[in-house]
Structure 1
Amino acid sequence: MSDAESPLPSDLDRNAVQTALVEWYEADHREFPWRRTDDPYEILVSEVMSQQTQLGRVVEAWEAFLDEWPTVTALADADRADVVAFWTSHSLGYNNRAKYLHEAAQQVVEDFDGEYPQSPDGLSELMGVGPYTANAVASFAFNNGDAVVDTNVKRVLHRAFAVPDDDVAFESAASELMPDGKSRVWNNAIMELGGVACGKTPTCDESGCPWRQFCHAYETGDFTAPDVPTQPKFEGSRRQMRGRVVRILGEYDELTLEKLGPRVRVDYGGKTGEEWLRGLLADLADDGLVELAERDDETTVQLRR
C-alpha cells in the first residue's frame, strides 16, 4: 500500500509513535512468566491456553503444565489422555486444543528434529496452529513475526488513528507502525496497550497511555471502536470535562489545582485525580486556552487572556 493509500494520518510521526509505545511498555508492564522466555514450546503452550482463559488464570495452569511436561519431547511422549485430563481439570476450554497441542509436539519431534519452525508460515504447518498463534510464536520466540492484529489491536488503531473498520486497513496500519526487526517488543507492547489502557472502557490518563498526544479518540472524546459499538455518552466524557474547566475558570481570576479539581469532578482526589487533572490542563494549555504557573509550591491555572 502506498503512502497515499495509507490508513494512517498523513502527518503522523511514526518514529515518535513507535518510541512512545516501546518506552511505555519497557518502563512498566504486566508480568507474565511467558514474557520472560523465548522458548517456542513454552510460548506456544501459553498462546493456546490463553485462547479461552483469562491471563491471570493461565499462569498457574501454564506453570503446572510445564512442570508435568517441561519440554516438547516430554509432551510428545505423553499419553494424550493425560494431556486432555490436565486440560479439563484446569478448565482451559475446548479439549481439542489439548489434542492439537499434543499432536503439534509430535510433529516437531518427528518432522522437525525437535526444533520449532521460526517463521509464521512454518509454524502454521503445526496441528491446530492458526495464523494468529503462528505469528505470535514467531514474534515472541524468534522476533520474526508480522504485526499482530487481534481485537485489542484493532480497537487501539481505530481509536488512536481513526483507522477504518476494515481488516485490510487494520493489517496495513499495523504493519506500517511496527518497527523493522522488533516484532517481539512491538507486538507485546501494542497488545499491552489494548489490554491495559485502551480496553472497552479506556483508562487513558490513569494508565498513562503513551499515545494520548496522537490519539483521535482522546482528542474528540469518541471512544467508539469495532468491539465497542455504542457511542459513549457526553456525560462524564473528556469533552465535557474540558468544557467544564473552561467554564469554571471563566468565573475566577485563577484557581489552584486543589480548588479547581473538586469543582470539575465531585469524585476528585488523590494522586490519580491530580494526574488526571494535570493531563486535562496540559491539553487545554497546548490548545492555547489556559495558563499554568507554579507559585508558593502550588500550581495555579487561569484562562489565557
Structure 2
Amino acid sequence: MTDTADSLPDGADAYDPAGEDAEAWPDDVDAVRDALVEWYEDDHRPFPWRRTDDPYEILVSEVMSQQTQLDRVVSAWEEFLEEWPTVHDLAAAPQSEVVGFWTGHSLGYNNRARYLHEAARQVEEEYDGEFPEDPDELQELMGVGPYTANAVASFAFNNGNAVVDTNVKRVLHRAFDVPDDEEAFEVVASFLMPEGESRVWNNAIMELGGVACLKKPKCDEAGCPWRQWCHAYETGDFTAPDVPTQPEFEGSRRQMRGRVVGALSQGEALALDELGPKVRVDYTPGGEYGREWLLGLLRDLEDDGLVVVEERGDGETVARLAT
C-alpha cells in the first residue's frame, strides 16, 4: 500500500492522531492499513457494482442503496442497467418510465428516480456525456450530495476523500476510541486512508462496518482484521454513536465461555496454547489473557459439566467438550 502523508485537513485541529492524540494509536499505523485492505481483498461481499469503474453504473447503485438493503438492490440494479445500459440511454428515456421502474421495484422515494434521470440529462447536456471526476463537481448533479459524490469519485475514479458514514463512525469510535465528534471522525478517516487509494480503502472500511463491526459486533466470526488494536475488543465496551446502550453480552465472561465451547465444538482436544488464540486474538501464555485466565474459564465450564480438563503425562493441559 502507498503510505499516506499523515497530514490533516485544513482547519481540522480539534483531534490530531498525528500529534497530541498519537499515543492512543498503534505504533505501526501502516500495519493497521495493510491489515484492513488485505482482509477486504481476501474475501468480501461480491456485489456486482464492485466489479465496475463505470461512474454511471456506480451512481445507479449508490442512489438505489440509499433506502434499500444491498442484497435487494442487486437484482434491481441489474434490471435497471438492462433497460438503460448507459447514461445516454437513461437521459433519453421518458421520466415516467424511470419512475415507474422505481415504484415497481420498491426502491423508496420516487424523487430519487427523478433526480437520477435529471442527473443523466445533465451529464449528457452539460458534460458531453462524460462524468466529472471530482467530488465537488459531482455534487453539481441533481440529487447528488456529498456522500454520493464522494462514493462515485472513489469507486469510479479512485479520486475520492475518506468516506464517513454511520458504519465508519462506529468502526472508528470502537477501534480507536475516537470521540463522538463530526470533525474528529473526518480527521481520523482522512488520516487513515492511504493517499491515492480511495477506491479500495473506502470499500474496505465500509465492508468492515457492514459485516464485522455491526451494532451487534461479529469480531471473531467475521475475522475482524483490527482486533489486535481495537479498543472495544480489548475493553468489551462496544458502545458507539449509533449504539447508545452497551450490549451486556459483548466482552463478558459469558461471551468468552461461548468462544471456548465454539472452539472445542469439533470434538478435538486442544492444548491451552492452541485453544487460547481461538478465544482471544490477544492471547499470550503469560499475559493478562493467558493460560491462567483461560484455565479459569475452563474450570467454570468444567463445573457446569460442559468441558473436561485433563493433565497429560508430559505436563500439558488439554481441554475437550464433555460427552
Measured against the shorter chain, the TM-score band is 0.7 to 0.9
1:240 aligns with 2:253: yes
1:282, 1:75 → 2: CA distance? 50
- The residue number in structure 2 matching 1:68 is 83
1:182 aligns with 2:197: yes
**TM-score (normalizing by structure 1):** 0.83
Unaligned runs of 5+ in 1: 246-259
Distance 1:276 1:144, change over 3 A: farther
Kindly tell me the number of residue pairs found equivalent between the two proteins: 277
What does 1:51-200 correspond to in 2, within 5 Å?
51-200=66-215
Identity %: 67
Residue 282 of structure 1: how far off its partner (Å): 4.7
Indicate which of 204, 209, 233 corresponds to 1:218: 233
Residue 50 of structure 1: how far off its partner (Å): 0.1
Do 1:160 and 1:211's aligned partners in 2 also have CA atoms closer than 8 Å?
A: yes
- The residue number in structure 1 matching 2:265 is 269
2:241, 2:275 → 1: CA distance? 26
Residue 288 of structure 1: how far off its partner (Å): 1.3
1:124, 1:29 → 2: CA distance? 29
1:119, 1:243 → 2: CA distance? 47
Residue 278 of structure 1: how far off its partner (Å): 3.1
Unaligned runs of 5+ in 2: 1-12, 295-311
Residue 279 of structure 1: how far off its partner (Å): 3.2
Give the letter for the 1:90 counterpart.
Answer: H
**Structure 1 residues 260-293: Cα deviation after superposition (integer angstroms, max 9, x where no partner):** 934xx7x96249xx9996332552316614349x
- The residue number in structure 1 matching 2:278 is 279
Distance 1:30 1:111, change over 3 A: same
Partner of 1:213, secondary structure, is: coil
Residue 12 of structure 1: how far off its partner (Å): 4.3
Indicate which of 35, 43, 47 corresponds to 1:20: 35
Partner of 1:225, secondary structure, is: coil
**Structure 1 residues 77-106: Cα deviation after superposition (integer angstroms, max 9, x where no partner):** 000000000000000000000000000000
2:257, 2:31 → 1: CA distance? 31
Do 1:147 and 1:174's aligned partners in 2 also have CA atoms closer than 8 Å?
A: yes
**TM-score (normalizing by structure 2):** 0.79
1:98, 1:287 → 2: CA distance? 60
Do 1:7 and 1:172's aligned partners in 2 also have CA atoms closer than 8 Å?
A: no
1:35, 1:28 → 2: CA distance? 13
Give the letter for the 2:153 counterpart.
Answer: A
Do 2:277 and 2:283's aligned partners in 1 also have CA atoms closer than 8 Å?
A: no
2:54, 2:180 → 1: CA distance? 35
1:213, 1:114 → 2: CA distance? 47
Q: Which runs of 4+ in 1 moved over 6 A?
A: 242-245
- The residue number in structure 1 matching 2:10 is none
Distance 1:7 1:201, change over 3 A: farther
Distance 1:86 1:279, change over 3 A: same
- The residue number in structure 1 matching 2:6 is none
Give the letter for the 1:200 counterpart.
Answer: K
- The residue number in structure 1 matching 2:3 is none
- The residue number in structure 2 matching 1:248 is none
Do 1:120 and 1:134's aligned partners in 2 also have CA atoms closer than 8 Å?
A: yes
Distance 1:114 1:209, change over 3 A: same
Distance 1:67 1:300, change over 3 A: farther
Give the letter for the 1:240 counterpart.
Answer: R
Do 1:21 and 1:211's aligned partners in 2 also have CA atoms closer than 8 Å?
A: yes
1:206 aligns with 2:221: yes
Residue 7 of structure 1: how far off its partner (Å): 7.7
Distance 1:276 1:191, change over 3 A: farther
Distance 1:300 1:241, change over 3 A: farther
Do 2:26 and 2:229's aligned partners in 1 also have CA atoms closer than 8 Å?
A: no
**Structure 1 residues 223-264: Cα deviation after superposition (integer angstroms, max 9, x where no partner):** 00000000221xx4334258869xxxxxxxxxxxxxx934xx
CA RMSD of aligned residues (A): 2.8
- The residue number in structure 1 matching 2:305 is none
Give the letter for the 1:237 counterpart.
Answer: E
